[in-house]
Amino acid sequence: MNYRLLGRTGLYVSELCFGAMTFGGEGIWKAIGTSGQKEADTLVGRCLEAGINFFDTADVYSHGASEQLLGKALGARRKDIVLATKVRGRVGPGVNELGLSRGHILDSVHASLKRLGTDYIDLYQIHGFDAVTPLDETLRALDDLVRQGKVRYLGASNLAAWQLMKALGISEHRGLSRFESLQAYYSIAGRDLEREVVPLMKDQQVGLMVWSPLAGGFLSGKYRRGQQGPEGSRRATFDFPPVDRERAYNVIDVMDGIAREHQSSVARVALAWLLHQPHVTTIVIGAKTAEQLEDNLETPKLKLTAEQLTALNTASALTPEYPGWMVARQGEDRSPKPQS
């Protein structure tokens, strides 16, 4: 297992992070995974054996059951890992039992600590943007948790570029703990993040945690042009995140050939492509079975050639959009020209 620094911090995390969204199987999360304690213990144990030191969950996953199952599976080994969870989603029927107000954050962190069976959270992430609560209220509450030692680092998830930059600006101006990572959807079939968010993250040294690296299972190798997906698959009942299927099929065709060259799975090629992107810190994998996990764990060993990367990048390239194409054109004007 390889390890990478999280943003501009001194914290090393494994380039594969285990996501516990498949734990619990309650409510809408049943479509994603139904692992109970026995399965959770097995998957977590195997991750630790493989060198994964980064585990991610959220208070809303299976109504808190994911945090409980993960905490019990880690047990005394909790001190050896980097533990991440999230806050924002609805956790009860009350009008204030959601969002990023000071009250909800303080209530939620205590509930998460109890469920996880720990007295601190390594990375506490906001699970999206709250259009109602001022950002400075959210950031002040989060900074208080860092100062109290209940939280060690802060992260965000699912933010637009302007929202993340505004938060970073407020933190800088007021001397508050800042977001050191962004957890976002990114895959070879969905590279939209590269338009605005990735350049910002590079500039501000924010780490990138990738969720749904297989596009909700679409890049697992189970889907082919002109064929029905397997019965009982995740996308059969939970068709998310959105995918341009025709474009994704073109990428799968290229990955299929590369997978055969490496005697690998299509899924592993999709994950390996992400690990070859310099702006990626870690990939959140969420295996439902031991077989899926074993395949994912082989990803760091798969080294793509320059030719293979070019083929994948070409097949998955984004359609140029303004102002991106103008920024690129003007950037060429500033490149040094060879002297004759």
Residue 61 falls in the annotated catalytic set = yes
Assign 3-class secondary structure to the chain. CCEEECCCCCCEEECEEEEHHHECCCHHHHHCCCECHHHHHHHHHHHHHHCCCEEECCCCHHHHHHHHHHHHHHHHHHHHCEEEEEECCCCCCCCCCCCCCHHHHHHHHHHHHHHHCCCCEEEEEECCCCCCCCHHHHHHHHHHHHHHCCEEEEEEECCCHHHHHHHHHHHHHHCCCCEEEEEEECECCECHHHCCHHHHHHHHCCEEEEECCCCCCCCCCCCCCCCCCCCCCHHHHCCCCCCCHHHHHHHHHHHHHHHHHHCCCHHHHHHHHHHCCCCCCEEEECCCCHHHHHHHHCHHHCCCCHHHHHHHHHHHCCCCCCCHHHHHHHHHHCCCCCCC
Catalytic residue, candidates 3, 61, 120, 223: 61
Residue type, 109: V
* Pick from 167, 147, 148: nearest CA to 156: 167
Q: Which residues are annotated as catalytic?
A: 61
